[in-house]
Amino acid sequence: MKKLLFSLAASLFVAFTPSSISACTNFIVTKGASKDGSVFITYAADSHTRYGAIAFYPAANHLPGSRCEVYHYENGKLLGTIPEVPHTYSVVQFMNEHQVAIGETTFGGLDSLATQPGAILDYGSLMRIGLQRSRSAREMIKVMTELVAEYGYATGGESFSISDAHEAWIMELIGKGKYEKGAVWVARLVPDGYVSGHANQARITTFPYQKINNWNDPRQTVYHSADVISFAKKQGFYQGSNEAFSFSDVYNPLKFGGARFCDARVWSFFRNISREIRENQSYTSYAQGKFSRKDRMMDNTPNPNGYASNRLPLWVKPDSTISLQMVMARMRDHYEETPLDMRNDPGAGPFKLPYRWRPMEFEVDSVTYLNERAVATQQTGYSFVAQSRSSLPDAIGGIFWFGVDDADGCVYAPMYSAIRRVPESYLLGNGSMITWSETSAYWSFSQVNNWAYTRYNMIHPEIEKKQRELENRFVAEVKEIDKKAMELLGKDSSETLDLLTNYSVSSGNKLVKEWQDFYRYLFMKYHDGNLKITEGDRLKENGNGKNVPQKPLHPGYSKEWERIMIQGTGDRLVVPKEK
Q: What is the mean pLDDT of residues 362-389?
A: 97
Inside any domain, residue 492 = no
Angstrom distance (rounded) from CA 131 to CA 98: 9
pLDDT value of residue 221: 98
Quick one: pLDDT band at residue 74, thresholds 50, 70, 90?
confident
Please give the Cα distance from 333 to 383 (Å, whole number): 13
In a domain, 542, yes or no: yes
Nearest to 109 by CA among 16, 42, 47: 16
User: Does the model's pTM come out above 0.75?
Assistant: yes
The continuous run of DSSP H or E covering 504 comes out as helix 493-525
Residue 15: what pLDDT? 32
Encode pLDDT of 10-25 as tens digits: 444 333 333 344 479 9
Collapse the DSSP code of 450 into the 3-class scheme (helix H, G, I; strand E, B; otherwise coil) and give the result.
helix
Q: Is the model's pLDDT at 1 over the cut of 60?
A: no
- pLDDT over 90 (residue 493): no
Q: What percentage of residues in the chain have a pLDDT greater than 70? A: 96
Report helix, strand or coil for 142.
helix
Confidence class of residue 73 from pLDDT cuts 50, 70 and 90?
A: confident
What pLDDT, on a 0 to 100 scale, did the predictor assign at position 176? 98
- Is the Cβ–Cβ distance between 151 and 82 less than 8 Å? yes
- pLDDT value of position 430: 98
pLDDT in tens, 284-314: 999 999 999 999 999 999 999 999 999 999 9
The per-residue pLDDT for 23 is 78
Q: Closest by alpha carbon to 204, among 163, 235, 250?
A: 250
Quick check: 522 pLDDT over 70? yes
Q: Between the CA of residue 318 and those of 195, 287, 387, 407, 478, what are the distances in Å?
A: 7, 19, 18, 23, 26
pLDDT category at 75 given cuts 50, 70, 90 is confident
Could you give the residue ranges of the DSSP H alpha helices within 213-274? 230-234, 247-251, 256-257, 264-273
557 in any annotated domain = yes
Q: Would you say residue 551 lies in a domain? A: yes
CB 308 within 8 A of CB 262: no
CA distances from 284 to 29, 108, 127, 314, 413 (A): 22, 25, 33, 16, 34
Closest by Cα among 179, 234, 246, 157 to 209: 246
pLDDT score recorded for residue 51 = 95
Burial 511-527 (b: 16+ CB within 10 A, else e): bbeebbebbebbeebbe
- Has residue 471 been placed in a domain? no
Q: State the pLDDT at residue 372.
A: 95
CB atoms within 10 A of CB 504: 27
pLDDT digits (tens, 9 = 90+) for 528-555: 999 999 998 899 999 999 999 999 999 9
CA distance 204 to 566: 50
Range of the domain at 557: 534-566
What is the tens place of the pLDDT at every residue in 334-354?
Answer: 999 999 999 999 999 999 999
Over residues 206-221, the pLDDT tens digits come to 999 999 999 999 999 9
Q: For 17-68, how does the pLDDT look when each residue is reduced to its tens digit (9 = 90+)? A: 333 444 799 999 999 999 999 999 999 999 999 999 999 999 999 999 999 9
Residue 69's beta-bridge partner residues? 81
Mean pLDDT over each residue of the chain, to the nearest integer: 94
Count of domains observed in the chain: 1
Residue 555 lies in a domain: yes
Residue 541 falls inside a structural domain: yes
pLDDT value of residue 564:
94
Q: For residue 468, is pLDDT > 90? A: yes
- For residue 11, the model assigns a pLDDT of 41
C-alpha 416/C-alpha 259 separation (Å) is 36
Residues 6+ apart with CB under 8 A from 547: 541
Q: Give per-residue pLDDT as tens, 109-119.
A: 999 999 999 99
Task: Tell me 576's DSSP state.
Answer: P
Q: Flag whether pLDDT at 258 surpasses 70.
A: yes
Domain for residue 544, yes or no?
yes
Q: Band of the pLDDT at 239, cuts 50, 70, 90?
A: very high
Read off the pLDDT of residues 124-177 as tens digits, 9 standing for 90 and up: 999 999 999 999 999 999 999 999 999 999 999 999 999 999 999 999 999 999
Residue 21's pLDDT is what? Answer: 44
Strands 534-535 vs 538-539: parallel, antiparallel or unpaired: antiparallel
Phi/psi region, residue 346 (left: phi>0; alpha: psi -120 to 50; beta: rest), is alpha
Is residue 575's pLDDT more than 90?
yes
